[in-house]
């Protein structure tokens, strides 16, 4: 029996569930003996009525229990949903904080003002991040283009130049292939070694002192120097040493860019040897020889010329024939010089009697044009032959 029905029977009728069947039996008997149909029917069906009430109470209890369980479940689900929402809100806040920190770091790298800490507009943050990412991608693209340009420049430089990098003590920390090739050392043999490894010993200590003083002061040094390869062979380079600075503005590394000029130096040495030979040859010729430029100025003469005209060394250098001879004789020679400049070739003639050391001399001139490599006139060379004695023999 339902507990609520039990309490009501107890409170209203003073009956317990155990006493109810006997009471119902007695009521049924009383109804049967009453002779009243209504009372008989009431007493006969009172048990079923109470059973129906009990069933109704039981159904109500079940409905209540179901509603309670449903409410409990709904409350649990609501609590779980609230907890999930709180977790999502916390996660969203962490995402916002991370986005803000990331955005502020990117803004700082672009020298732009940071976002406020209380800015929780996810859409604005997302838009800002999208713009920053686009800016970053464009910057990275530009950086990659610059890196590619530098790679191409480095490749071109490495194909032509001898490149090395040292620290401030002269220790080699980078050597390109051209440096390895010309020095004969492998890269492993060069790295970590002092640059003195290729010192030829031909330059005085003052030469390198000046170089180090210049680059340690942060200035670029340029010059030509001779190095010695691993094989002992010498090679010449035209070098430029450029300082690289640290954040404090002090030199921390030096880049040496060099060009092999050994062939040029060899050609210069050969040319100097040839010039020395030519000078010796001209000096050895006993006849007076002189040189003029296209302006008619003397640019050189041999010892025989100086001795013949009783000249001190360099006395005629820079002078013209008009500074030395009488006008009529100067014009005579100048006309022939101009003709030779205009039509390069050879020229021979006998000059009018010329006074030399107080005596009139009969002089024969033989001249030839001097031209540059491109064929343009450079001047002339002249040889003087004294015909005075020969003429005296012929006239005698």
What is the tens place of the pLDDT at every residue in 94-125?
767 777 777 777 777 767 777 676 666 666 66
Structure tokens at 290: 């002189």
Q: How far is CA 200 from the centre of its chain?
A: 33
Q: Specify the length of the chain in residues.
A: 396
Q: Does residue 215 surpass a pLDDT of 70?
A: yes
Give the pLDDT score at 257: 93
Which pLDDT belongs to residue 14?
75
Give me the chain's average pLDDT, please.
85
Specify the pTM: 0.53
Q: What integer pLDDT is reported at residue 285 of this predicted model?
A: 92
- Give the C-alpha distances (Å, rounded to integers) separating 395 from 18, 354, 355, 364, 391: 191, 18, 20, 17, 6
Does residue 203 register a pLDDT over 70?
yes
Q: Give the pLDDT confidence of 370-387 residue by residue, as tens digits.
A: 998 888 899 999 999 999
Query: Does 35 have pLDDT greater than 70?
Result: no
Q: Give the Cα separation of 139 and 111 in Å (integer).
A: 14
Higher pLDDT, residue 321 or 15: 321
The pLDDT of residue 118: 63
What confidence tens digit (pLDDT) does each residue in 219-242 have? 999 999 999 999 999 999 999 999
Secondary structure (DSSP) of 238-305? EEEEEEEE-TTS-EEEEEEEEEE-HHHHHHHHHHHHHHHHHHHHHHH-SS-EEEEETTS-EEEE-HHH
Share of the chain above pLDDT 70, in %: 86
Q: What pLDDT sits at residue 176? A: 93
> What is the C-alpha separation between 46 and 30, in angstroms, rounded?
13
On the question of pLDDT at 9 being above 80, the answer is: no
Assess whether pLDDT exceeds 70 at residue 43. Answer: no
pLDDT, residue 44, reads 66
Q: What is the mean pLDDT of residues 36-65?
A: 74
pLDDT of residue 156: 64
């Amino acid at each position: 029996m339902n507990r609520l029905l039990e309490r009501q029977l107890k409170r209203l009728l003073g009956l317990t569930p155990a006493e109810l069947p006997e009471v119902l039996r007695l009521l049924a008997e009383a109804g049967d003996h009453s002779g009243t149909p209504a009372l008989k029917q009431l007493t006969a069906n009172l048990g079923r009525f109470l059973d129906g009430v009990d069933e109704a109470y039981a159904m109500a209890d079940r409905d209540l229990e179901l509603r309670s369980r449903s409410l409990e479940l709904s409350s649990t689900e609501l609590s779980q949903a609230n907890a999930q929402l709180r977790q999502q809100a916390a996660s969203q806040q962490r995402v916002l904080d991370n986005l803000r920190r990331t955005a502020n770091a990117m803004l700082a790298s672009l020298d732009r003002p940071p976002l406020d800490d209380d800015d929780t507009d996810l859409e604005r943050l997302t838009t800002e991040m999208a713009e920053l990412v686009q800016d970053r991608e464009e910057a990275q693209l530009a950086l990659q283009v610059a890196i590619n340009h530098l790679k191409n420049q480095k490749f071109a430089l490495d194909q032509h130049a001898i490149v090395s990098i040292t620290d401030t003590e002269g220790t080699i920390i980078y050597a390109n292939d051209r440096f390895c090739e010309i020095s004969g050392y492998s890269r492993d043999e060069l790295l970590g070694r002092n640059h003195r490894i290729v010192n030829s010993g031909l330059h005085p200590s003052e030469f390198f002192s000046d170089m180090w003083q210049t680059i340690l002061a942060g200035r670029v040094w340029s010059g030509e120097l001779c190095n010695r390869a691993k094989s002992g062979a010498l090679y010449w380079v035209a070098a430029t040493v450029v300082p690289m600075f640290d954040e404090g503005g002090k030199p921390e590394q030096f880049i040496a860019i060099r060009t092999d000029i050994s062939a040029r130096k060899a050609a210069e040495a050969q040319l100097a040897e040839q010039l020395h030979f030519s000078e010796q040859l001209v000096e050895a010729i006993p006849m007076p020889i002189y040189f003029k430029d296209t302006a008619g100025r003397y640019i050189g003469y041999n010892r025989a010329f100086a001795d013949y005209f009783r000249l001190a060394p360099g006395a005629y250098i820079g002078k013209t024939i008009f500074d030395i001879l009488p006008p009529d004789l100067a014009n005579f020679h100048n006309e022939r010089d101009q003709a030779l400049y205009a039509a390069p070739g050879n020229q021979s003639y006998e000059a009018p009697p010329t006074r030399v050391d107080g005596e009139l001399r009969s002089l024969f001139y033989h001249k030839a044009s001097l031209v540059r490599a491109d064929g343009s006139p450079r001047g002339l060379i002249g040889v003087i032959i004294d015909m005075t004695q020969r003429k005296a023999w012929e006239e005698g």
